[in-house]
Amino acid sequence: MAEVGRRTVTSTAAAAALLLIGGGFARAQSAKATRPAHTTDDVRLRLPAPSGPHRIGVTTLYLVDRSRHDPWESLPVREVMVSVFYPARTVRGRPIAAQMTAGAAATFPHLDPLFHRELPTTGVNWAATRTHAHTGAPAQPVRRPVLLYSPGGGDPRTLGTGLAEELASRGYVVVTIDHPGDGSEVEFPQKRAGREQVRITAFRGNPRTDPKIFRTVVGTRIADTRFVLDQLAVLAAGRNPDALGRALPECLGHALDLRRVGIYGHSVGGTTAAQTMYEDRRIGAAVNLEGFLDYAPEKPGQEGKLLPVAQYGVDRPLLLVGTDGFPEKQALEPSWSAMLAHPRGHTRRRQLSNATHGVFTDYAVFAPQLQAAGLMTAAGRNSLIGAIDPAESVPMVRSEVHSFFAQHLPSH
């Protein structure tokens, strides 16, 4: 997870901010200018097919919260991009969606390896990865439970595609959320004054080393998530919340049952999921995939102050899922133990063995493919996801998350 600080909104300032990471961004930008985005020999990564009975549609929404200023940039509004995955009535004639937009995919290899140093900077065509969802397909006119997803700090929402598709194929509407200025790269439908069309992260390090920044990260994500839920209510009421008024898939609003809402997230997205449920009664169940439930310590070696969700507990179901190989497992333990100690027993805990932090994302399948192609070392793969085989990890993560929501927010 990476850290963010305020900066002026120009491409020069963006580069200057990221120069703090050993000059890596400047080198990446130089390389980007002298080589094509990809070649015919570049590896094309594959996502695992969803296993549920429903074909999937997908669309994106550009949402603008005019009641908030952006916390990371000098922007007068807060913009959020989301993808909506849903069971489709038909997919005939609807194209398969790419995992990443073209602009985000072009930026990804020059930026994300600065934060996940196991990743290659060349040799992958990130724009070529296809999902199993069909762009703009008409939705089934059946009210479905809604699940919100918040990604790990510094990660784009697109790295949660595999799990989102699995849940959509099993009868859920899944809304994956980008948190601009936090996510590594977020592409908007158009430019606006003060930012480029592809907005890059302002993160510079680890937010656990800066209590003020960590609080801003968490607070901003909670506000983003609650705003998205507000806009889904607009959609369910028959109106179009997209800030540009772009066309919506047929029956999409009719597919939302906002009486049944869950949330899940990875890393600080898991923190967001748990605390948002605590703050918002509209959310009935939450899954935290290895996210802290305390604030960053004020000084090294100290324990951080518990988030309210861990301090006071919740009266709705919460699932904590961790790994045995998470490097910060010892620092995670106090807040998770506090969460589990509440007497009402609404919280459960699970653990994946032979795995580490990135196993909850699409890196679970990408890392072994990169290793097989000679683009990632065995040590790099183990650092990113653990030695666990995706044939084991992918069904395990899917099963944990789906079975939890199927119990507490059934799709039928």
Q: What is the spatial distance between Cα 381 and Cα 373, in angstroms, rounded to a whole number?
A: 12
Average pLDDT over residues 1-8: 32
Mean pLDDT of all residues in 355-363: 98
How confident is the model over 338-353, as pLDDT tens digits?
999 998 889 999 999 9
* Number of helices and strands in the chain (H, E): 11, 12
Is the per-residue pLDDT at 13 higher than 70? no
Q: Using an 8 Å Cβ cutoff, are 310 and 271 in contact?
A: no
pLDDT at 21 over 60: no
Judging by beta carbons within 10 Å of its beta carbon (0-12, 13-18, 19+), is residue 274 exposed, middle or buried? buried
- Report the C-alpha gap between 199 and 73 in whole angstroms: 10
DSSP-based three-state secondary structure for 179: coil
DSSP 319-331: EEEEETT-TTHHH
**What average pLDDT does the segment 318-334 reach?**
96
Average pLDDT over residues 132-144: 98
pLDDT digits (tens, 9 = 90+) for 24-78: 333 334 334 334 556 667 999 999 999 999 999 999 999 999 999 999 999 999 9
Q: Does position 10 have pLDDT exceeding 50, yes or no?
A: no
Question: Which DSSP string do the residues of 150-174 spell out, in sequence order?
Answer: E--TT--GGGGHHHHHHHHHTT-EE
Quote the pTM value.
0.91
Residue with tokens 């196993």: 359
What percent of the chain shows pLDDT beyond 90?
Answer: 83
Q: For the chain, what percent of residues have pLDDT higher than 70? A: 90
Closest by Cα among 126, 83, 81, 123 to 107: 126
What pLDDT sits at residue 300? Answer: 78
Is 80 exceeded by the pLDDT of residue 117? Answer: yes
Q: Give the per-residue pLDDT at 249.
A: 98
**pLDDT given at position 6:** 32
* Residue 15 pLDDT level (bands cut at 50, 70, 90): very low
Name 378's Cβ contacts closer than 8 Å, sequence gap at least 6: 371
User: Within 13 A of 85's CA, how many CA atoms are on the CB side?
Assistant: 32
Write out pLDDT tens, residues 180-231.
Answer: 999 999 999 999 998 999 999 987 777 777 888 899 999 999 999 999 999 9
pLDDT tens digits for range 144-161: 999 999 999 989 999 999
User: Average pLDDT of the chain?
Assistant: 90
